Structure 1
Amino acid sequence: MAIRGGTEIKVGIFVFVGIIALLYLTFKLAEEAFTPKDVYRVYAVFDNISGLTKGAKVEMAGIPIGKVGKIELTNKGKAKVELLIYKNYKIQEDAKAVIRTYGVLGDKFIDIKPGVSTVYLTPGSMIAYTQGAISVDEILASIGPAVEGLKELLGTEEGKQNLKILVANIRDASQSFKNIAEKIEKGQGILGKLVTDEKLYKDLTETVESLKIVAKQIESGQGTLGKLVNDEELYKSLRNTIANLESVSERLKKGEGTLGKLMTDDKLYKDLKAIASDLRKITAQIESGQGTLGKLLKDDSLYIEAKRTLKSVN
């Protein structure tokens, strides 16, 4: 009976050891299966990796380029993280590894921020620039001063009064929006009519349709505007006309031609002004009967005498 009991114990121990060995081999095989052969390993050291776990994604510009491998604690109390990077992706030697979070409470992942170097990390290299995870305590510590400032602001009588005014303004604005919405629903005002007036809606629809027809006519080259838009020859003619006008304008500015000289030659302008003055004087003399031409126009006796002379000659 004692011998039988000893045999059972030995068998039990053997089975237990076998199960342990089987579990060990299973984990080793699983690790090999989930560690692809087409990766290379680089490393990064962080002060804090709170929440980062093995198998977490490694991304660059939002694209997965690998995953987190082993995580170890260094002699200096820092976290050394193994990054399994797919071989078709390269990491620059001045790149930076940052631990980030998906959303607010999501999983942690490592974001690789590219550098500017043309030299890339080789297998087994260390990423020089890192930024660890931000803990909840650090977040609370960063917003703590703002919260305290808000408490101080609202804790004073002036702060309480300002808060009351702010709440009242928000309430008034909300009431105003409510009144506007009610007016719109009743069809009051321009916006209300646009929303509720069926006839106005139809008119607008017809106007839009008319504009569509006009646009199609223009596109097809119909009408004056259509020809202006689509007729290449007319466009060229207008362009040539504009070019000619620009040329004439430039010549006038330079004083070329008669009109150009009239516009730019001060001497010619003065001469014309003097001639005009002389003509005014001569005209005035003629009108007053001065000179031969003036007498011919004004003296009737001279006209009668000339007429008699002509008759006697005949």
Structure 2
Amino acid sequence: MKISKEVKTGTLVILGIILFIFGFNYLKGKNLLESTNVYYTEFNYNALSKSSLVTVKGNPVGKITDISYDYKTGKTRVAFFVNEQLKFSKNSIVRMYETGLMGGNGLAIIISKEGEQAKPGDVLKSEVEVGLVTSLSKNFSGLSTDLNATLKSTDTLMSSLNKLVSDESADGLKSTIAELNATLKSFKNTSNSVNGLINENDDKIAEILEKFKVSSENLASLTTELKDANIGSTVESLNKTLANLNNLLATIDKGEGTLGKLLKDEGVYNNIEAATKEMEELLRDIKLHPARYRRILSKKEIPYEGDKTN
């Protein structure tokens, strides 16, 4: 069968168009011959490019297909496809990370098996991993400022030291070193004097130490004797005695018992006071009129005689 030139030409044109479409999409990161699933995620800014890799544990599983700005939310929506054999849940996280020191970012899927399985078209949660270059770029300005301040302080310190070393005045470093040497010499002389004093009184110091040793031994033996004397029982007996004394004082304070009534009852006090006054009057009367009381003291019966002075 002979094929005409027109058919051949049409076939070549169609094949060329197919190859062009396939190549164009391949350059965009989309493989038309590969079975894929498209998912979405969102970031607060765009640091990605189309055809950037999507990885799982460092292994490429897909690519970014589209990046667009959402005017309603103000976020960057990223569409990416992965191999249909990859299964993960909706709780999985899409992480944006730096792919190298020369720049460029990619997406990594932190797979989670918990929860409902993700389906094509779902929007997954996202996070941004701060890379080495980004961290250095953010902190380098502060590091540079601190380094400049440190260098300035070091320069000031060195200038002050140079000025101090080259100072020939009385307040300079040389005079200070001379005074320090004099102080060290004086300290050396004092140390020698102390050493001589110790050598001269070595016997006395030894005697003092021996007496201190004897005193320590006596104190130790006294402590042992006090321990063996059962001080605990003595203290316990003393506590009981003090408790009984407290009870007695409390009884007296309440006016109970003879002593309590004597201290608290005013009637008893008044009676005692009245009896005391009568006793004083009786003694005074005996002194003034002893004749009245002779018959009481005499063994013989003596009739009572009135006071002749009355």
Q: Which has the larger radius of gyration?
A: 2
TM range (shorter): 0.3 to 0.5
Q: Which has the higher helix share?
A: 1
TM-score (norm 1): 0.38
